[in-house]
Amino acid sequence: MNWLEVAGCNAKLAASKEWNPTLKCILHMQKTLDINLVNIVAYELVESDSLITKDPESPKKMDLIYQWIQSDDWMEDEATVQKVQELATTII
């Protein structure tokens, strides 16, 4: 797997660390790489001696957010933006 497969047309920006990916891109990369970013963040917090409890519903919540933001103009729909924001705050 290479940057082009992971980051698509933004591969050069990603490689140069000048790319600020959208949530949609991050979720797509997560799916492409077959990883769960929430688990990675949670693991790093645990390693830092912070106590957290993993929400078993997080993967389902991430999938739901991913479905909601598939449209290029999802940010123009205030109801969708609000749903995404509300659900996102329950994940981490």
- Of 69, 91, 92, 88, nearest in space to 80 by CA: 69
Average pLDDT of the segment spanning 18-35: 78
- For the chain, the structural domain boundaries read 21-88
Q: What band does 48 get if pLDDT is binned at 50, 70 and 90?
A: low
The pLDDT score that the predictor gives to residue 47 is: 60
- pLDDT of amino acid 92: 61
The two tokens of residue 90 are 């329950």
| Contact assessment for residue 11 and residue 4, using Cβ atoms and an 8 Å cutoff | yes
Task: Assess whether pLDDT exceeds 60 at residue 39.
Answer: yes
- In contact, 1 and 34? CB cutoff 8 Å: no
- Tokens linked to 89: 């705050």
